[in-house]
Structure formats: C-alpha cells, structure tokens
A and B are shown apart, each in its own frame.
Chain A
Amino acid sequence: MNSVLDSAVLFQIGPVGITQAIVTTWAIMAILVIGAYALTRRLDLRPTRRQAALELIVATLDTQIVETTGAAAAPYRGFIGTLFVFILAANWSSLVPGVEPPTAQLETDAGLAALVFVSVIWFGIRAGGFRGWLKSFAAPNPVMIPLNILQSLTRVFSMFVRLFGNVMSGVFVIGIVVSLAGLLVPIPLMALDLLTGLVQAYIFAVLAMVFISSTVEDGARPLCDPDIAPSPTKKDS
C-alpha cells in the first residue's frame, strides 16, 4: 500500500521520476523568473511605483539580513531572498485548485535543507577559509566540537521537518475538511494556511541566515574568545 505522503510519478526521465511537486516547482520557477525578468526590464534612476515596490522588497530583505547577522547583505541576498520567495510561492501554490504545494513533499523540503547545509559550509569556507570553517566547530571551545557537529546536522533536519510538517499538515487538514464539509467551509483554514505559509517561509529564511552567520562569525573569531564566554570573575566585577 502506498503512503499518502508519497507523490505520484507523472513521468520518468532516466532514473529520475518526475512528480507533481517537481512539475509545480518548475512552474513556480518559470513564473518567478519570467515575472522577475518582466518586472526588472526597465529599471530607471527615477523609479516608477512598480520599481519602488521592488526596491522596497530588496531593501526590506537587506535590512532583515543586516539586523540578523550584522554583516553586509549583498553576499547572502540572492540565496536567502530566493529561499524565502520560493518557499512562499510554493506554500501559497496550494490556493490554486488541484495543485499540491511542493513544500508538502519530503523531497522538496529535504532538498531545501540540504541546500542550507551546503550553503553554511560554502559561506563558512568563503569567509574564513577551510580552517576557519573547521574552527567554527570548536566555538566557544574545542570541547563543543562533537556537539557542534551534531548540531549542524540536527538543526538542518529540524528545519526541513518543521517546514514539511507545517505545510503538509495544512494540506491534510484542508483536504479532510473539504471531504467532510463541502466547498466553503475550508476557506478560513485556507486563509490560515496563507499565514502559516508566510510565517514558515520567513522562519526558514531567517534560520538559514542565522546558521550561516553563526558559522561565519565562529570561523572568524579566535578560540576561547572572552567575549563569548566571559569568566565569572569578570562578570562579577
């Protein structure tokens, strides 16, 4: 018996089974890329309302990144912003009748979590070098190395499970209510699902940013930094 969590394969490309989630992802990608291209074709020094709205989005994202990490926003803007926009679009795609959001499938959320895992390593190495990235596991002191390694895996796993659980549960609840109470009753739940999708996208992006910045900062900071672990004597004084 197949699990309800499994996605039906629409067609096969070599060894890869193309599910509806993948197709929806491609559709979202196409819409986002074409829409972004259409919106950013005529950017001018004197902004129109459309351009002002786009700049407001980018400026808000930059502000969030700066407030979260304290670092410059430019290196992380593309990755964090795309994560947020894609997850939001994927979550809200459930509003389209007959479309199941890609984030309600394990593979999509696991893929996103894997990207965050890799990006933490990538940004860590790029900021402090390979030694700096390794050193980030010894923060605040080398005793924490096993725990930090375990944490780097579990926190990504928790991200993917959190996103998957929230979106999938929403889809399930709405599906159950639709099957029981007809057409109009699920609408408040769908509205709630919109809010849940927005919050989950925001949480996923912010957590990714926090993990990346934590690794970057730990790699750049010397071991046993007194600012990280102040001695009780110093604290008491």
Chain B
Amino acid sequence: MTLDWWGLSLQAVNVLILVWLLGRVFWRPVADAISRRQEAAVAMLDEGKALQAKVDVQLAEIDETRRGIASEREAILAEAMATADAVAKATLRDAQTRADTLIGAARTAIDRDKHDARKENAAKVAELSVEIAARLLGRFSSSVIQAAFLEQLVEAIANLSPSDRAALTASETVIEIVTASEPEDVEMAGIEKAVKNALGGTPGIRFVTDPDMIAGLELRQAHFVLRNSWRADLETIRKEVANVD
C-alpha cells in the first residue's frame, strides 16, 4: 500500500475549495438569512417596546387627564354643592323672613281681631250694662227724681251763654220739653215755669214724651238739644266705655 502524495494534496485542495464554495453559496447566505431575521425580530421587538413605551406614556397621560377630570369634577361638584348650599341657605333665610313677616302679620291681625273683638265685646257689655241700668233706673221714676232732673236742667240752662239763651227764646220754633213719662198738669206747669225763668223769656213750649229716656228732662229745638236724662248719661258712659282701649 502506497500513499499517493499528489492525490492527497489534490483531495485536500478539493476539500479546501469545497469549504470556500460552500461558505459562499450555503453557510454564509443561510447564516445571513438567520441574522437578518433575528435583526428583524429584534427590530420588531424594539419597535414593539418603543410602541409599548409610547403607549405607556399615552396611558400615563390619559391617567393624568382622568385624574384631572376627576379632580375637576370634584371641584365642580364641591362648587355646585357650595352654590346649592348657599342657595338653600338664602332660600331658607328668605322663607324664614317671609314666615316671620307672615307670622308678624298674622299676629298683628290676631291682635287687631282681638282688639276689635274686645271692643265689640266691650260695646256689647256696655249696651247690656246700659240696658240693665236703664231697666233698673226705670223703677225709680218718681217725682223726686224728676225734680232733681228739673233742677239739673235749670242749672244747665243757666250755664248756657246769654246769647244762646237769647237765641232759644227769640226763635219762633217751639221748644220741646221731652220727658220719659207724660207728667201731670201740675208738674207740667211747674216745669214750664222753671224753664222759662231759666231762659229769661217766654218761648213756645211743648211737652213731648220719650220713654227711651228712662228718666229726665231735655230741651230740643230744630238746631239745639240740651240733653239731661239717664238715657243720655248712660249713652255717654257707654261711649266712654266703648272708646277705652
């Protein structure tokens, strides 16, 4: 067995050439394809990461905006609540004022009604009292009382001014002497005489009966009345009582 050195060298060169050729047409192209794909994958991953980072930033911005919206919403709600509270307080205050006004008006009306009622009651009481007094005094219609009233009438005529007395006596109109009950002739003459003396003249005298007077003597002319009776007194008392607050 011999070793062909030329053949050995040629085979070595053949394999060396094959190494070079396969390196150019197989190993390197395939390895480059793998590298390109890996680079593309890395680039896509980087792009994805960049996109993810961008999305994260946008999400953070959105979260920030949401937080801003939430805080703004809370501020608006707080402002609205404050406004509503102020409006409610103002409305309550207004309502309170109106209620106070209404209560005041009602109290005033109640006081007025009470006052009117009291006045009305007082008037009724006075009328009732006058009626009671009139009935009670009606029992005392006697000559003594009549004389007392005549004396008071004469005194009242005397208290008139001379011009008034002169006007009464000079008037052509008849002077009416009003009594509660029709007096007897003697009493009439006495009364007429006393009145004429008090007036200081001789005017026309006529007697008129008015039972409402209860008791008393009054002078009446067309434009003149001189009251002097229990009815007039009671009426005066009743008016005074009615006018008392």
Q: Does B36 contact A (CB under 8 A)?
A: yes
Chain B, interface SS category = helix
Q: Are A51 and B15 also in contact (CB < 8 A) when A5-B1, A21-B7, A40-B26 are?
A: no
Whether B23 pairs with A22 at a CB distance below 8 angstroms is no
Q: Which parts of A16-34 form the interface with B (CB within 8 Å)? A: 16-17, 19, 21-22, 25-26, 29, 32-33
Q: Does B82 contact A (CB under 8 A)?
A: no
Instruction: Using CB atoms, name the residue of chain B closest to A58.
Output: B30
Whether B23 pairs with A82 at a CB distance below 8 angstroms is yes
> What total count of A-B pairs have CB within 8 Å?
126
Instruction: Using CB atoms, name the residue of chain A closest to B22.
Output: A82
Q: Does A54 contact B (CB under 8 A)?
A: yes
Residues of A within 8 A of B243 (CB): none
Residues of B within 8 A of A33 (CB): 18, 21-22, 25
User: How many residues belonging to B are interface residues under a CB distance threshold of 8 Å?
Assistant: 33
Give chain B nearest CB distance to A31 CB in angstroms.
11
Residues of A within 8 A of B12 (CB): 111-112, 114-115
CA separation between A230 and B24, bound complex, in Å?
44
CA separation between A40 and B26, bound complex, in Å?
6
Give chain B nearest CB distance to A208 CB in angstroms.
12
Q: Does A59 contact B (CB under 8 A)?
A: yes
Q: Which parts of A106-122 form the interface with B (CB within 8 Å)? A: 106-108, 110-112, 114-115
Q: Are A107 and B15 also in contact (CB < 8 A) when A3-B1, A33-B25, A43-B30 are?
A: no
Q: Are A47 and B33 also in contact (CB < 8 A) when A16-B10, A29-B14, A86-B18 are?
A: yes
Which among B19, B23, B28 has the highest number of chain A CB atoms within 10 Å?
A: B19
Q: Which parts of B214-242 form the interface with A (CB within 8 Å)? A: none
CA separation between A157 and B44, bound complex, in Å?
50
Whether B34 pairs with A114 at a CB distance below 8 angstroms is no
Residues of A within 8 A of B185 (CB): none
Q: Does B29 contact A (CB under 8 A)?
A: yes
Instruction: Using CB atoms, name the residue of chain A closest to B19.
Output: A82
Residues of A within 8 A of B1 (CB): 3, 5-6, 106
CA separation between A54 and B11, bound complex, in Å?
27
Q: Which parts of A40-70 form the interface with B (CB within 8 Å)? A: 40, 43-45, 47, 51, 54-55, 57-59, 62
Residues of B within 8 A of A108 (CB): 11
Whether B3 pairs with A55 at a CB distance below 8 angstroms is no
Whether A78 pairs with B27 at a CB distance below 8 angstroms is yes
Residues of A within 8 A of B27 (CB): 58, 77-78, 81-82
Q: Does B163 contact A (CB under 8 A)?
A: no
Q: Are A29 and B25 also in contact (CB < 8 A) when A43-B30, A110-B8 are?
A: no
Residues of B within 8 A of A21 (CB): 7, 11
Residues of B within 8 A of A5 (CB): 1
Q: Does B4 contact A (CB under 8 A)?
A: yes
Q: Does A202 contact B (CB under 8 A)?
A: no
Whether B37 pairs with A17 at a CB distance below 8 angstroms is no
1/0 contact trace for B23-52 toward A, CB 8 Å?
A: 101111111111011001000000000000
Q: Does B16 contact A (CB under 8 A)?
A: yes
CA separation between A55 and B27, bound complex, in Å?
9
Which of A16, A51, A82, A107 is B33 in contact with, Cβ under 8 Å? A51
A–B pairs, 9, beta carbons within 8 Å: A19-B7, A21-B11, A22-B7, A29-B18, A74-B31, A105-B7, A106-B3, A110-B11, A112-B11
Q: A25-B14, A78-B28 are in contact. List 20 more A-B contacts (CB 8 A).
A: A3-B1, A16-B7, A17-B4, A17-B6, A22-B7, A22-B14, A29-B18, A32-B18, A37-B25, A43-B30, A44-B33, A45-B36, A54-B30, A58-B31, A77-B31, A86-B18, A106-B4, A107-B4, A111-B9, A112-B15
Give 9 closest A-B pairs by Cβ, nearest first.
Answer: A111-B11, A111-B12, A36-B26, A78-B23, A107-B7, A43-B33, A82-B19, A40-B29, A107-B8
Chain B residues with a Cβ under 8 A of chain A: 1-4, 6-12, 14-19, 21-23, 25-34, 36-37, 40
